[in-house]
């Protein structure tokens, strides 16, 4: 009987050991496979990335796709932050300007910039002259905004012109995260219909997540048949299209300086406390 009992104890010990080894192996593969890869950006030094595709979206807007070192590489840019891009203006002088990619770290192996090139813009000249095969010097990440899923119940977003890019990045991150329930109310202002950047992408998000995001376009010079807002973004437009002031909401804004100034005044008048506002 003692021999039989000893045998059972020995077999039980072996079984426990095998389970422990199996669990340890499973944990190892889980950690190694789910460990977030290191980003390619350097906050202190510029690094160069090759332009692999350029698509002209309009007469002065283009989408630039840059390759990362490997197909599995990630840029390493936290949601809502930006990076500095370095180039040369028409006089050959160095110029540095901040941009926010429209891609996320879930877009492996590359990042994209949607750039509006202004006639007198110094960095616009650099992008206007860029061709596939050229390299762009980039440094980052930079910025005070660090998004965490579920940090607010809802975002109101006030964007103007190229100020849509950080909003689009945040919106994509929220809507593509199955455990993030944050709602988004976006107001996007431009001069003409042709000036609207990422319209197809924004409309697709609104169609795919109708209960999570709404997009209200405002044009200063709208076409004849237009169902959106007309003129400038007013207090009434904000009241109708943004979440009301509350401790669990935040209003993000990004646009030309005059618009940012006007929006700050409107938000203050409507009762949005400073902690409820953030300007990119």
Determine the 3-state secondary structure of 38 from DSSP: coil
pTM: 0.82
Contact 54, 120 (CB under 8 A): no
Q: Kindly tell me if the per-residue pLDDT of 143 is higher than 50.
A: yes
Contact 83, 39 (CB under 8 A): no
Q: Kindly tell me if the per-residue pLDDT of 25 is higher than 70.
A: no
pLDDT attached to residue 180: 95
Q: What is the mean pLDDT of the chain?
A: 89
pLDDT attached to residue 58: 87
Angle between helices 164-175 and 199-208 (to 10 degrees): 30
pLDDT attached to residue 37: 72
Q: What is the pLDDT of residues 108-126, one digit of tens each?
A: 999 999 999 999 999 999 9
Q: How confident is the model at residue 53 (pLDDT cuts 50, 70, 90)?
A: very high
pLDDT attached to residue 38: 83
Determine the 3-state secondary structure of 229 from DSSP: strand
CB neighbour list of residue 76: distance below 8 Å, 6 or more residues apart? 38, 39, 40, 41, 105, 141
Neighbouring C-alpha atoms within 13 Å toward the C-beta of 153: 9
Angle ∠(278,259,94) on CA atoms, nearest 5? 85
Q: How confident is the model at residue 2 (pLDDT cuts 50, 70, 90)?
A: low
Domain annotation for the chain: domains and CATH numbers: 47-142 (2.40.30.10), 154-279 (3.40.50.80)
Catalytic residue positions? 82, 99-100, 254
Q: Kindly tell me if the per-residue pLDDT of 278 is higher than 70.
A: yes
Q: What is the pLDDT of residues 30-40, one digit of tens each?
A: 333 445 678 99
Q: Kindly tell me if the per-residue pLDDT of 3 is higher than 70.
A: no
Q: Kindly tell me if the per-residue pLDDT of 251 is higher than 70.
A: yes
């Amino acid at each position: 009987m003692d021999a039989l009992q000893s045998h059972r104890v020995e077999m039980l010990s072996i079984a426990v050991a095998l389970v422990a080894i199996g669990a340890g192996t499973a944990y190892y593969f889980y950690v190694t496979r789910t460990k977030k890869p290191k980003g390619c950006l350097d906050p202190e030094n510029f690094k160069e990335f090759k332009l692999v595709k350029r698509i002209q979206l309009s007469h002065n807007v283009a989408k630039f796709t840059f390759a990362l070192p490997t197909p599995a590489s990630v840029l390493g840019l936290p949601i809502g932050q930006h990076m500095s891009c370095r180039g040369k203006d028409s006089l050959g002088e160095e110029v540095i300007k901040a941009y926010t990619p429209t891609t996320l770290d879930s877009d492996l192996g590359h990042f994209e910039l949607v750039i509006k090139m202004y006639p007198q813009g110094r960095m616009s000249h650099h992008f206007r002259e860029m061709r596939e095969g050229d390299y762009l010097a980039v440094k980052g990440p930079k910025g005070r905004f660090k998004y965490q899923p579920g940090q607010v119940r809802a975002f109101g977003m006030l964007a103007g012109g190229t100020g849509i890019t950080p909003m689009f990045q945040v919106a994509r991150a929220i809507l593509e995260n199955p455990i993030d329930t944050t709602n988004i109310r976006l107001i996007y202002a431009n001069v003409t219909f042709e000036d609207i950047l990422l319209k197809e992408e924004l409309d697709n998000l609104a169609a795919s997540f109708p209960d999570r995001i709404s997009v209200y376009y405002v044009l200063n010079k709208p076409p004849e048949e237009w169902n959106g807002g007309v003129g400038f973004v007013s207090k009434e437009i904000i009241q109708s299209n943004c979440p009301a002031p509350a401790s669990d909401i935040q209003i993000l804004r990004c646009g030309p300086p005059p618009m940012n100034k006007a929006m700050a005044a409107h938000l203050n008048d409507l009762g949005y406390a400073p902690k409820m506002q953030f300007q990119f």
